[in-house]
Amino acid sequence: MAQRDFKPYLWSILNGLTLIRGHFVMSGTTPVLQKWTYPAPNSGAIGSYSSAATGGGGGGGFGSTAGAEGVKSVARTGAGLWTVVLQDNYQRLLNLRVHQALAGGLSTIVAAGNNTTITSMTTAGGSTIGVALLSSTGTAADPGDTTFVTLEFELQNSTAP
């Protein structure tokens, strides 16, 4: 299980409820993991997203330079099909949601589903989650170029009832 100091009080009856949000920007049909860059203190500037490092030492989590905010990496395996590797291992995936920001027009993606043939919570180096991004017709589809995609993973980080 993840060995992080998660913030308490999500007010859930489940032990170890954890939310991980992965932020991605589409470059053509390739999702690129993003990290939030905080401004210098007292600078008056605001933070911004930039590409996260995808390599680095360690198996993710503390001491690693790979990934951002709980997500280690993302790979597109087909139209609308992604494999997301988390920085830590979790007990189970409870929910998966998708949010998007685009400059204009309508989104091609209306939902995200868990591809259970890929998902493995016990993969060495971090849980692996298969994601299918779905269009309004229920088929896998890619978000448009430059679309900012947020995947929210609701996980359980405990084996205790």
- Write b or e for each residue in 91-113: b if 16 or more Cβ atoms lie within 10 A of its Cβ, otherwise e: bebeebebebebeeeebbbeebe
Helices then strands, counting H and E runs in the chain, come out as: 0, 9
Among 25-34, 56-65, 82-91, 135-144, the minimum mean pLDDT is found in 56-65
Condensed to tens digits (0 to 9), the pLDDT of residues 100-130 reads 998 888 888 999 999 999 999 999 889 999 9
Looking at residue 43, its pLDDT comes to 86
Examine the pLDDT at 7 and tell me if it is beyond 70: no
Mean pLDDT calculated for residue range 139-151 = 94
pTM above 0.75, yes or no: yes
> Which of 53-57, 149-153, 154-158 has maximum average pLDDT?
149-153
Q: Which of 151, 157, 126 is nearest to 24 (CA)?
A: 151
Condensed to tens digits (0 to 9), the pLDDT of residues 62-80 reads 445 678 989 999 999 999 9
Q: Where are the domains of the chain?
A: 17-156
Helical spans, DSSP H, in the chain: none
Residue 72 vs residue 158, higher pLDDT: 72
